[in-house]
């Protein structure tokens, strides 16, 4: 499992008042009961009682179950069943609970009253799409960084998964009440930007009719030509190409060749002009990335420039602090950070022999900066090939005086595209990837967002284009959206029959809803707050995906089994109120996933 910096558990101050999720209400009853038994007063597990309350998996076990009696057995020196007996005897009466039973080796099973569910559905109708969202929390203040792709080309399908996952995590944390900001780290400094500038310049020359052996390390996408065409040539000096290229290192050393080309460009054009091309290039690409993400429903609170770390002397500050703390030393002409003091495999270079700082030096400064801005939990969404960074960045944070575990990293595994059973070639000879935009154009934003988070982030993702596009029962996106559209359709039908829906009458008539499908739907709906909390705490959107699928199934089953628009007004109002609650929860869940909730399909 990926290591996760778990946010501290929400401390609930509850009585079983309205607005408290069902599970918390049950946990509260249990806490009172345990506290009322003197023998358990100092049992070590009492503080985590809430965590022991679970939904029963089997209807025969009631609605909720706890294993608290088994957990207390050792410290209390009693058998689980005896403990369960004592706890049940001490349980305060509640209108939410019909029965409390002991089962199996010592489980305590709670069977809720109809009233408990009716209240919960009423609450959904009252709160609408706000239902299930956690109370705003003081902290930890979360900074969520994701995508952060280099602005050297358009986003591809791998970045898309990062975008969808990160955005959904952000929505989930926010829904659970955490204060969260989203940030994109823009790698606008260093050699990559120089290579980008050179690539554009070479394409400009080509457009002028020059023949140029394009270097291996350069960016050769078609978009580079487009950018080259858009560069304002006013003030650019004329260039004697042949002379400029005659001293280049041989092609079998691509790195040296690219570096030499950068130098040539800077000399011939002048540093200012070259910088202008470079900025135009990365500015245009970054605009494209920003648009692409915005169309995908992914937005950021801040775009943080790597270059600003240098400009604002943040890296200098960092090196000074590390130096004062004696965390640096010189070797082989470079400056090294004592990462091994903090558990890393080896020490790491922060200033190279050539005097330039490393990307790692920027990373420390950047994460240090995040801490200094007051964020208490830093979440980075990274590709799984970056796992080696975590230890050293944590080391950097600790050396700078912050807790290493304030950094949590969620790794996103690779994406493989399939068309039917066929694997899709993701890269072309020109080094071109299938872009996120192409994927979105082909399968649509909704299916794309959904499929990206359908699987656990640390699972390889097989993205089947045909399945994502299919408008059939194979496709879980449409399955869920269809449930939402069906509810809207029912209300349209109601309108056509010139009937109206009296919600208050419906809520007052919930006791008429005795069908098994109705009870199942109510139970599922009441789970929503638990799902939000679970998915947020684990940063695992797939919990929400699976929940919505199950919820849609409960709805479709109900739809097929019973008619909602019946003659009996009370029953009709009650049924319509129930499906309207289902509509609200589905809409809320889809919103968190960044998927639309259509009224018709």
Q: Which stretch binds RNA (CB under 7 A): 3-11, 177-185, 436-444, 581-589?
A: 3-11
DSSP H or E segment with residue 530: helix 528-537
Q: List the strands of the sheet with 53-55, edge to edge.
A: 53-55, 64-66, 107-112, 97-103
Site for RNA in 362-421 (CB under 7 A): 384-389, 411, 413-414
Nearer to RNA, 167 or 454 (CB): 454
Q: Is 342 in the site for RNA (CB under 7 A)?
A: no
Task: Classify the C-alpha dihedral 294-297-298-301 as positive or negative.
Answer: positive
Q: Among 300, 304, 375, 478, which residue sits at the site for RNA (rule: CB under 7 A)?
A: 478
Strands (E), 180-225: 180-186
Provide, rounded to whole angstroms, the least separation between the CB of residue 103 and RNA: 4
Q: Which stretch binds RNA (CB under 7 A): 101-109, 175-183, 441-449, 584-592?
A: 101-109
Residue 433 per-residue DSSP state: B
Nearer to RNA, 268 or 286 (CB): 286
Look at residues 335, 318, 316, 338 and name the one whose alpha carbon lies nearest to residue 326. Answer: 338
User: 266 near 258, Cβ under 8 Å?
Assistant: no
Q: Which residues contact 48 (CB under 8 A, 6 or more apart)?
A: none
271 is a site residue for RNA (CB under 7 A):
no
Pick between residue 244 and residue 260 the one whose CB is nearest to RNA: 260
User: What letters, b where the CB count within 10 A reaches 16 and e where it falls short, cover 538-547?
Assistant: bbbbbbbbeb
- Binding of RNA at residue 247 (CB under 7 A)? no
Q: Which of residues 212-241 bind RNA (CB under 7 A)?
A: none
Among 11, 17, 233, 331, binds RNA (CB under 7 A): 331
Among positions 39-68, residues that touch RNA (CB under 7 A) are 51, 54-58, 60-61, 65, 67
Q: Is 499 in the site for RNA (CB under 7 A)?
A: no
Here the tokens at position 318 are 């960092």
Nearer to RNA, 109 or 524 (CB): 109
Q: Which of 84, 265, 349, 586 binds RNA (CB under 7 A)?
A: 349
Let me know: does 53 contact 26? Beta carbons within 8 Å. yes
Query: Considering only 7-15, 104-112, 154-162, 165-173, which stretch makes contact with RNA by CB under 7 A?
Result: 104-112
402, two tokens: 């912050």
**Which helix (H) or strand (E) covers residue 173, if one does?**
helix 157-175
For position 568 contacting RNA by CB under 7 A, the verdict is: no
Interface with RNA, residue 567, by CB under 7 A = no
Q: Which of 461, 551, 578, 585 binds RNA (CB under 7 A)?
A: 461
**3-class DSSP assignment, residue 445:** helix
**Tokens 């089953």 belong to residue:** 557
Q: Of 359, 426, 442, 444, which lies in the binding site for RNA, with binding defined by CB under 7 A?
A: 359
Among 105, 323, 343, 401, binds RNA (CB under 7 A): 105
Q: Are 406 and 377 in contact (CB under 8 A)?
A: yes
Kind and range of the H or E run holding 392:
helix 388-399
Q: Judged by CB under 7 A, which of 279, 352, 373, 423 binds RNA?
A: 352
Nearer to RNA, 295 or 462 (CB): 462
Least distance CB 250 / RNA (angstroms): 20
Among residues 16, 148, 174, 187, the one that binds RNA under rule CB under 7 A: 187
**Which of 537, 569, 571, 587 is in the footprint of RNA by CB under 7 A?**
537
**Alpha carbons 379 and 148: distance in angstroms, whole number:** 13
């Amino acid at each position: 499992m990926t290591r996760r910096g778990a946010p501290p558990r929400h401390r609930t101050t509850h009585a079983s008042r309205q607005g408290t999720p069902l599970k918390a209400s049950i946990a509260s009853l249990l806490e009172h009961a345990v506290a009322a038994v003197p023998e358990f007063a100092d049992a070590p597990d009492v503080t985590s009682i809430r965590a022991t309350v679970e939904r029963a998996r089997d209807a025969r076990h009631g609605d909720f179950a706890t294993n608290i009696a088994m957990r207390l057995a050792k410290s209390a020196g009693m058998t689980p069943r005896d403990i369960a007996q004592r706890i049940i005897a001490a349980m305060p009466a509640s209108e939410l609970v019909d029965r409390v039973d002991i089962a199996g080796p010592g489980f305590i099973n709670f069977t809720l009253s109809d009233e408990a569910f009716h209240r919960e559905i009423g609450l959904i109708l009252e709160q609408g799409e706000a239902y299930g969202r956690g109370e705003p929390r003081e902290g930890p203040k979360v900074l969520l960084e994701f995508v952060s792709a280099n602005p050297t080309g358009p986003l591809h399908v791998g970045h898309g998964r990062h975008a969808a996952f990160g955005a959904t995590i952000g929505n989930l944390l926010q829904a659970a009440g955490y204060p969260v900001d989203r940030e994109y780290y823009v790698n606008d400094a260093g050699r990559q930007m120089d290579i980008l500038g050179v690539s554009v310049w070479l394409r400009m020359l080509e457009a002028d009719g020059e023949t140029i052996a394009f270097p291996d390390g350069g960016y050769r996408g078609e978009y580079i030509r487009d950018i080259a065409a858009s560069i304002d040539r006013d003030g650019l000096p004329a260039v004697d190409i042949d002379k400029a290229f005659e001293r280049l290192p041989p092609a079998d050393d691509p790195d040296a060749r690219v570096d030499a080309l950068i130098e040539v460009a800077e000399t011939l054009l002048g540093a200012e002009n070259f910088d202008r091309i470079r900025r135009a290039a990365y500015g245009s690409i970054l605009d494209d990335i920003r648009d692409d993400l915005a169309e995908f429903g992914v937005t950021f609170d801040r775009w943080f420039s790597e270059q600003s770390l240098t400009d604002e002397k943040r890296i200098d500050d960092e090196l000074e602090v590390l130096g004062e703390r004696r965390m640096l030393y010189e070797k082989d002409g470079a400056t090294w950070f004592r990462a091994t003091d903090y558990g890393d495999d080896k020490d790491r270079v922060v200033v190279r022999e050539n005097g330039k700082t490393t990307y790692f030096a920027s990373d420390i400064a950047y994460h240090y900066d995040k801490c200094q801005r007051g964020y208490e939990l830093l979440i980075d969404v990274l590709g799984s090939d970056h796992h080696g960074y975590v230890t050293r960045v944590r080391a950097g944070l600790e050396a700078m005086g912050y807790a290493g575990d304030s950094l949590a990293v969620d790794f996103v595994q690779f994406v493989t595209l399939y068309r039917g059973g066929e694997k899709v070639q993701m890269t072309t000879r020109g080094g071109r990837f299938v872009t996120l935009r192409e994927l979105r154009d082909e399968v649509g934003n909704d299916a794309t967002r959904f499929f990206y988070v359908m699987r656990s982030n640390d699972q390889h993702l097989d993205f089947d284009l045909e399945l994502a596009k299919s408008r059939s029962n194979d496709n879980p996106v449409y399955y869920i959206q269809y449930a939402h559209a069906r509810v809207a359709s029912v209300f349209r039908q109601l309108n056509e029959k010139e009937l109206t829906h009296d919600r208050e009458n419906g809520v007052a008539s919930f006791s008429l809803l005795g069908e098994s499908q109705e009870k199942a739907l109510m139970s599922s709906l009441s789970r929503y707050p638990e799902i939000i909390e679970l998915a947020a705490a684990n940063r695992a959107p797939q919990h929400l995906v699976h929940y919505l699928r199950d919820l849609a199934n409960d709805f479709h089953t109900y739809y097929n089994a019973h008619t909602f628009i019946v003659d009996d007004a009370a029953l009709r109002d009650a049924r319509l109120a129930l499906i309207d609650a289902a509509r609200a929860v589905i809409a809320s869940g889809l919103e968190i996933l960044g998927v639309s909730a259509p009224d018709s399909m």
